[in-house]
Amino acid sequence: INLELIFSDIEILDRRIAKIAKQARMDKTLAKELELVEAVKAHLEDGKMARSFEVPDDEDAQIWFKGYNLLTAKPTIYAANVADDGASNPHVAKVREMAAEEGAKVFVICAQIEQELAELSEEEKKEYLDDLGVESSGLDKLVAASYSILGLISFLTAGEDECRAWTIKKGTKAPQAAGKIHTDFERGFIKAE
């Protein structure tokens, strides 16, 4: 899977190189970008993910790299499905090792336990988790980690007839968060308490 993602990213970079290569001879900014694109491509051709590429500490380079929208630059979480007693599974250790090289996270989940939890009522679920000695299910932890790695939070609204959770970027100001519900809310926003 990772190789397919790398091939896709190389294709994106090849198109960018083809687009700027001729103009780079006369434009110093494009020449600098071409140098970055070729360095990222070489990194990918070594079988490494773009997220492990050290982007130069230069504002232009950071913007260009982000603009390529490479698949292998996206944050990754590996979910390892194990038997209910399989946390010490030797395959999990290999996945952890691979994830550490990429700067990715690993979650060990037992799909069988998750399925059993899904069939229980909230009260029974809490009791089952207490018996297992954990506070929340693996699926709940995976969702929380996904939100965290993507920089998302939930913006909660409550009214007489419903309560809802809206997904917004972490650090979004209240008026912009209100705009997620309806654009009129952002324009007419007065204050938040």
pLDDT computed for residue 71 by the predictor = 94
**143-149 contacts at long range (C-beta below 8 A, 24 or more positions apart):** 145/77, 145/105, 145/107, 146/77, 149/75, 149/77, 149/105
Task: Return the CA Rg of the chain.
Answer: 23
pLDDT at 37: 95
pLDDT at 149: 86
Q: Mean pLDDT, 10 residues at a time, over the chain (193 residues)?
A: 94 94 90 94 94 91 94 89 73 88 81 84 83 79 86 87 89 84 76 64
Q: What is the pLDDT of residue 2?
A: 87
pTM of the shown model = 0.67
Find tokens 């130069």 and name the residue: 56
**pLDDT at site 11:** 96
What is the reported pLDDT for 87? 57
Structural tokens at position 176: 């912009």
Provide the pLDDT for residue 191.
66
Instruction: Report the pLDDT value the prediction gives residue 68, as an integer from 0 to 100.
Output: 94
Pairing of strands 163-169, 105-109: unpaired
What tens digit of pLDDT does each residue of 113-130 get? 888 888 888 888 888 878
